[in-house]
Structure 1
Amino acid sequence: MKRANSIIEIFKKQVMESPNNVGLVTDFSNYSYDEIDKNSDKVADELLRNNVVKGDFISVIMHRSEKMLFAILGILKVGAVYVPISREFPEERTDYILKDTDSKIVIVDGDINLNNTIFTLVANDDFFKRELNSKVSIPLINGDDPLYCIYTSGTTGVPKGVVNTNLGCINRISWMQEEYPINNNDRILQKTNYIFDVSVWELFWWFFTGASCVLLEDGEQGNPEKIYRKIIEEKITVTHFVPTMLSEYLNYLEDNSIEDSSNLKWIFSSGEPLLPEYSSRFYKLSKGTLVNLYGPTEASIDVTHYKVSGEESQIPIGVPIKNMQVVIADPKTLKICDEGKKGEIFILGVGLAKGYLNNPAKNAEAFLNNPFGTGRAYRTGDFGYVKNGLIYYVGRKDDQIKINGYRVDLNEILFHLKKFDSIDDVRIIYTKEVVNTLKVYFISKEKIEEESIRNYLQTKLPKYMVPHEYYQLDKFPITLNGKLDKKKLLELSNSKLKYLQNYTDKLDEKQKAIYNSLALSLGKQDIDLNKNYISLGGDSMKAIRAVSILRKNGFNCTIKQILTSNKIIDLCQNIVEDTSEFEDDITPYGSVINTPIIKLFKKYQMQHPGHFNQIRSKTEENLNVGQIKKVLFNLARIHPELTAIFLKNGTLTIENSPFSNLEIIDRRSDQELDWKKELDKLLTDGKLEFHSNEQLFKVVVFEMSNKCLLLFIAHHLIIDEISWKNIFDDFDQLGKNILINSDYEDHKTVGTSFRSWSYFLESYKKDFVNSSEFKYWKNLNEEFFELNKNLNQLTITEVAEPVVNITQKISSISSLKKIIDGSQYTILDLILLLLKKALQKNKNIEKVPLLVESHGRHDFSGKLRIENTVGWFTSFYPLILTKESTTEEGLFKIHQQIKSIPNDGIGYGLSFDNLNFIMPHFLFNFFGEITEDNNIQYVKDFFKYEKNEINFINMHPMKIDVMILNGDVTISIEAQQRFYSQKVLKKIVDEIISETLKLENTEVNEVKIEVDEGIDFDDFSNILDKFN
């Protein structure tokens, strides 16, 4: 079949083949191929009437809409070149582009002020209503004829116009269709701003195959919620994300507990390096395929590709596309580099641009007579290397960077800064501390307000190029060899924040909570109350994150509110609390559907299932027995779960009845109590065990002469650590209320009931086996099953006692914090590393399979309120810990594993019915930091009373609990003596303590390789060499 010479020829061919198919979808209308053709004819006809001829440049300044697409296709129909210009560009930049291209006409869709005499075609609704009786005759267009001209940031202070051809674009999209095919049922989301070249394939690929193009509402390309809704509602199958925006999209899915149920099959990512953590998170949430693309504007969009698996430690940019060649060569000698050696990336092939418009000097520098063969070669300024046939990108040699996918040349910003009155000298540093930030350091004899510099730059540069922070100095710090000391510059800017802490003294608690949320979204601890969000480094994506954090903290606000507010102090004063009333749709009373943790409980097949309890004690000096009864009555109304019973048929049921499981023991003749004696008596009398149809929450009140001592006993089926906190918080508040008003009654609800939670999980589980999350757990469980099968082979068969246990302090929390201070790692990461090493040594194994318990209170829908609910919410998931060569590597691997667990691990429990089950050998639970109230005790001596040891025979061979109690990090290990002796447990604990002491004298650094754009390339290469 004859290959088309032009993009418009391909479009016309598809119009002939499928005139009535839907080609374009907007928020308000659908347009068939024939309708698109006729509307674009109207634009072409008007251009011809105004003497536009083939090769003329036509500028477009329009919103994303059907009119924008009609205008671009109309330009192509007369053989002209379209030049996209953002409506947000400063006038100076727009004027420059119009003059540089010598645009014959500029097409707009509404009122716009232009400082020139170029003819303006207003392509509004009225324009497209008129009838056109004649067909437009398309001139002969060759593959080498220009198609579009996109402007990128320029070193000399002015942007560069890159002219690309029909042939380059056809080659690029034809390759895409061959490698990642779509058909007439596919729908491509067009959301990239048309001033960036990714928009080119979004705007044209669909008509290569009869598919549809769906336009995202203009201005919403940075809003993950809108993107997600559009993807779902319009059944999008193909889309693109800059990696930064991909991360924000994944944040949205994770924060709102959304399992991506979309039809997406191809998700392309380009514009900046794609991090492995993004891809691993992506595959936990999406069923589609992620593809990493690389290519400069000067080479028809993209020149390499790589299909990402989600398991890479470093993601390559891949291999060249069809009819393109990539060469890695020494930037000075142009000698091709051997595999593994870093060099500059050169691009060859039919996709190369014609060059920079009106810029022969830059063309001579960048577009070379091909030193590697025939034709031309484009030197990118990017550096990379080849390994196993794949190309890897490592950075740049110049001052060109990418911010959220936008190409920015720091020299263009410097060019304008040096022209600002009174600035004597200036430097810019780009950092990736937590968020991408441009920092300006300048010297001036006069005091200059940073707002005046920012306002000036906004008249010269696009918004994404205007720096975030400005620092006026007397002189620049220099190193011993006379170079700019960038490290000291960054220290200076960080020290400037110290005085900001004083600003927050006048904020009330609500305002401080808002302040802290905004600072967190910016990746900072302290921010200036008198600056606006954008000037502090904020942008739309960070604002989205801010809204998410604020909502979690009980506040209601919008992205627009954050971005348009003049000062942070205004936001602190004006953001309101979320006061919407919550109503649970499901009654809290009735049978509870078995949750994953209840199913696990049943799998234990305990000989005494009524003796699986937790006990807490409380000293009460203010309330008498009568008042305590009233408190408990109200407590059970607030938390209906306290009236739960376990029926003989194995069903957990919440009864709509008053709390009744209360025993009063008269000890008014005593001032102190012998706890051991009392507990032994309760145990002997069977009062620490629950029976069928008995309320699973019991309170024993010892009424003494000067106080009451309360013993709270709860079956684990209705309780967890967070539940205990909720119970005691509400107990104390109710006590205060009853002391004030003896007739006080509480009718409030705490939010989502545990019964409602069980119904929600059952609903969520319905299609779970078809999700990518289920596949994740299924694959992990296969290895977990095999590892546990080997470990569960008995080594000891005859024992005197069924269970052995040990409880011991291993360190202080302050000592452990010092080990990881300044790194990304958590106390949990460190404890898991210490435990893993001890178990590996003791069991002589490389892999340690832990079943890890977690709090499980994860709101999948964004509509649940389970923080204050009483119930056993615990989730559990497998974690396989492997060997490492260094402490840093071990911490890094564990940290990444935990970070990658989807939805707090609750999906593993939901997968239970469809997985091979074996009793996990090691059960691990980290309780975190438990602070004892003076009157409430987590009494370690209660341990042996909390469950009958014989129950443990059918459970895990080893159960490990770690908690931080009153500043001490304590480990409790309980083990079946069929597997472990007391001596072995002691060895394990001693090994943990020994490893802890070693680490307390060691500085732990993060394992992180990241390009710092402030480092010279040669320095960066030396750093990389240490890792290669």
Structure 2
Amino acid sequence: MIVEQKKYLIQPKVLNVHEWLDRKECVVVSGEKDENEFQPVQNTLEDIAYVIYTSGSTGMPKGVMITHKGAVNTIIDINSRCCISEKDAVLALSSLHFDLSVYDIFGILGSGGKVVIPEYSQIKDPEKWLKLMVEEEISVWNTVPAFMEMLVSYMYGKNIPGTEKLRIVLLSGDWIPVTLPKKIYMLFKNTKVFGLGGATEASIWSNIFSIPKEIPKFWISIPYGKPLSNQKYYVLDNHMNDCPDWVPGNLYIAGDGVAKGYINSKELTDRSFITRESNKETIYYTGDVARYWSDGNLEFIGRVDNQIKINGYRVELGEIECALLENDSITNACAMVVRNTIIAVITAKNNILQEDVLAVIKDKLPEYFMPKAIKVWESIPLTVNGKVDRKKIAEVLEKSELFEEKRDEPVVGAMEKAIAEVWKEVLGLKTLSRNDDFFEKGGDSLKAMAVVNELNNKQLSDTKISLVLLFSNSTPKMLAAALEKSKIQSENTDMEEGTI
């Protein structure tokens, strides 16, 4: 799907927030409308532009109220820095409930550019991404770092040169591996890589860092950078005093990007959006720990709480628990992360099957929120204070059959043996069972792409192996079976077509 808007709404380095809102023009995304029928809506800076939901510690998502001032301020800043114009096109890989998509749509369309939206089946397929990048002359990339890692891994594996049209790479939402920017620069000669950060509660992004082509060897992470225009960061101690340079503290965001709060939730708003007594300024508490370098750059250190991040998305385990408890048969639920695996422990009124529980919550949660396993217990352990004893639960799960070494069953057949050899090479293993899970043995999206490239080079089957196929068939036994099944189906189809 391709969305184009030829009319300029935001001219880089020209319009400010006030001027932008004074323009009474309409973005037509699809269809035709008589200009005489259009009645422009007069907005003010403080009006709510949209409400976007993020995870909540109570298990219920929080609706963040973003103003026109906040969203437009961020868009104008990025468009001005990157000289975004009607000549640009972005490949929109972010879901609409993830605020990177806000920039994809309004940032690019607002400057008259083009938004290219892949089919749903192509969202995790770097081969399809690259095809669209060439065909549609994509000039702007805006994703979490993991997606860019998948792309460059695929290109290096296939020895594919980068397109000269890509000139801006925006990476945010998760840690940026220090080795990634160099790979990007080597493939895409005309590009500039930026790291961005912030919070949903502060209008997409609040900081930016122009990543150099040569990363200093002593860096263990990419700096957060400096605040965007009309935005501020504070690193404060527990007494709300400014921390000196190099001293870690609690991270707060201030300025035009700060949201109005959470919709229909005054208590949560008052807890996170604070008025600082020293200057009466509204600041947002991010829950992050950071420190300032002496050059004014900000370094992100980590989270204060035990929130987890999956593919760049901030996830509260309570949100998974809330979805589980919507099932009337479940009386209590606790979601845990053990060995980077989401597991849910539940108690139920009657016998309940894991498949049934997963089927119910599948429609309530994104795919990457889904527990790998549901454990039904008679009761959930509590501490002496009556709180869920997560430490005890984790200890029990660690010893469960979920993490037992799988039976050392040797691979059988030419297909399984070929798959196992590739996996051992990529994962650095000496032995591998036909039941060993690729991801439990140390695999990740980057290594998965290397496996896919190598297996396709070996041409084990007429079926092209994709990341999706590997993710859903993550043992040698399962992947070989899937390829054999596909081969039989293909042969049957050929026979039917040849029948007179």
Scaled by the length of structure 1, the TM-score of the pair is: 0.40
SS state at 2:254 partner? strand
Query: Structure 1: how far apart are the matches of 2:325 and 2:60?
Result: 14
Match of 2:229 in 1: 322
Query: Structure 2: how far apart are the matches of 1:458 and 1:442?
Result: 16
Deviation at 1:9, TM superposition (A): 5.6
CA contact (8 A) 2:347 2:377 kept: yes
Match of 2:122 in 1: 220
In the TM superposition, what whole-angstrom CA distance separates every residue of 1:874-908 from its partner, at most 9, and x where no partner exists? xxxxxxxxxxxxxxxxxxxxxxxxxxxxxxxxxxx
Matched, 1:147 2:55: no
Match of 2:317 in 1: 410
Matched, 1:462 2:370: no
Amino acid at match of 1:509: A
Match of 1:311 in 2: 215
Amino acid at match of 2:94: T
CA contact (8 A) 1:497 1:526 kept: no
Change (3 A) 1:578 1:443: closer
Q: How does 1:772-787 map to 2 (within 5 A)?
A: none
Deviation at 1:148, TM superposition (A): 1.3
In the TM superposition, what whole-angstrom CA distance separates every residue of 1:327-363 from its partner, at most 9, and x where no partner exists? 0112x32222121121111000111111111111111
| 2:196 corresponds to which of 287, 293, 297 | 293
Matched, 1:399 2:303: no
Query: Structure 2: how far apart are the matches of 1:192 and 1:160?
Result: 19
Matched, 1:359 2:265: yes
Q: How does 1:544-555 map to 2 (within 5 A)?
A: 547-555=452-460
Matched, 1:510 2:400: no
SS state at 1:341 partner? coil
Amino acid at match of 1:575: L
Match of 2:87 in 1: 185
CA contact (8 A) 1:422 1:445 kept: yes
Match of 2:69 in 1: 167
Q: Is there any run of 5+ residues in structure 1 with no aligned partner, and where? A: 16-36, 41-68, 71-127, 580-1028
Structure whose residues are more often helix by fraction: 1
Change (3 A) 1:541 1:160: farther
Match of 2:11 in 1: none
CA contact (8 A) 1:223 1:541 kept: no
CA contact (8 A) 1:554 1:578 kept: no
In the TM superposition, what whole-angstrom CA distance separates every residue of 1:253-305 from its partner, at most 9, and x where no partner exists? 11111221332111000011111022232223222111000011111100001
Change (3 A) 1:490 1:360: same
Amino acid at match of 2:56: G
Amino acid at match of 1:304: N
CA contact (8 A) 1:4 1:10 kept: no
Matched, 1:429 2:337: yes
CA contact (8 A) 1:341 1:385 kept: yes
Stretch of structure 1 that moved more, 142-151 or 185-194: 185-194
Change (3 A) 1:381 1:200: same
Query: Structure 2: how far apart are the matches of 1:175 and 1:516?
Result: 50
Deviation at 1:462, TM superposition (A): 2.1
CA contact (8 A) 1:500 1:528 kept: yes
SS state at 1:484 partner? helix
Change (3 A) 1:526 1:155: farther
Match of 2:251 in 1: 345
Deviation at 1:515, TM superposition (A): 6.2
Matched, 1:302 2:210: no
| 2:342 corresponds to which of 438, 457, 460 | 438
Deviation at 1:483, TM superposition (A): 7.7
Q: How does 1:137-286 map to 2 (within 5 A)?
A: 137-286=39-188
CA contact (8 A) 1:157 1:411 kept: yes
Deviation at 1:519, TM superposition (A): 9.3
Query: Structure 2: how far apart are the matches of 1:545 and 1:423?
Result: 44
CA contact (8 A) 1:236 1:262 kept: no
In the TM superposition, what whole-angstrom CA distance separates every residue of 1:627-667 from its partner, at most 9, and x where no partner exists? xxxxxxxxxxxxxxxxxxxxxxxxxxxxxxxxxxxxxxxxx
In the TM superposition, what whole-angstrom CA distance separates every residue of 1:803-859 from its partner, at most 9, and x where no partner exists? xxxxxxxxxxxxxxxxxxxxxxxxxxxxxxxxxxxxxxxxxxxxxxxxxxxxxxxxx
Amino acid at match of 1:250: V
Percent of aligned positions that are identical: 26
Deviation at 1:248, TM superposition (A): 0.8
Deviation at 1:307, TM superposition (A): 0.7
Q: Is there any run of 5+ residues in structure 2 with no aligned partner, and where? A: 1-13, 384-388, 488-500
Match of 1:452 in 2: 356
In the TM superposition, what whole-angstrom CA distance separates every residue of 1:188-216 from its partner, at most 9, and x where no partner exists? 33332222111112112235444443333
Matched, 1:385 2:291: yes
SS state at 1:149 partner? strand
Query: Structure 2: how far apart are the matches of 1:534 and 1:514?
Result: 14
CA contact (8 A) 1:231 1:262 kept: no
SS state at 2:314 partner? strand
Deviation at 1:371, TM superposition (A): 3.7
Query: Structure 1: how far apart are the matches of 2:419 and 2:333?
Result: 38
SS state at 2:368 partner? helix
SS state at 1:276 partner? coil
Amino acid at match of 2:321: L
Larger relative CO (CA 8 A, sep 6+): 1 or 2?
2
Please identify the structure whose Cα radius of gyration is greater: 1
Scaled by the length of structure 2, the TM-score of the pair is: 0.78
Query: Structure 1: how far apart are the matches of 2:390 and 2:439?
Result: 31
Query: Structure 2: how far apart are the matches of 1:326 and 1:571?
Result: 48
**Equivalent residue pairs, number:** 457
Query: Structure 1: how far apart are the matches of 2:405 and 2:378?
Result: 19
Query: Structure 1: how far apart are the matches of 2:140 and 2:485?
Result: 38
Amino acid at match of 2:483: I
Change (3 A) 1:244 1:523: farther
In the TM superposition, what whole-angstrom CA distance separates every residue of 1:700-728 from its partner, at most 9, and x where no partner exists? xxxxxxxxxxxxxxxxxxxxxxxxxxxxx
Change (3 A) 1:574 1:415: closer
Deviation at 1:395, TM superposition (A): 1.3
Query: Structure 2: how far apart are the matches of 1:448 and 1:227?
Result: 41
Change (3 A) 1:358 1:264: same
In the TM superposition, what whole-angstrom CA distance separates every residue of 1:452-497 from its partner, at most 9, and x where no partner exists? 3322331432222112245567999999xx9826885575258744
Query: Structure 2: how far apart are the matches of 1:477 and 1:550?
Result: 46
Query: Structure 2: how far apart are the matches of 1:211 and 1:6?
Result: 20
Query: Structure 1: how far apart are the matches of 2:42 and 2:244?
Result: 45
SS state at 1:575 partner? helix
Change (3 A) 1:552 1:323: same
Q: How does 1:737-816 map to 2 (within 5 A)?
A: none
Supply the RMSD in Å over aligned alpha carbons: 4.1
Amino acid at match of 1:307: S
Deviation at 1:143, TM superposition (A): 1.3
CA contact (8 A) 2:100 2:143 kept: no
Deviation at 1:539, TM superposition (A): 10
Q: How does 1:921-940 map to 2 (within 5 A)?
A: none
Change (3 A) 1:371 1:491: same
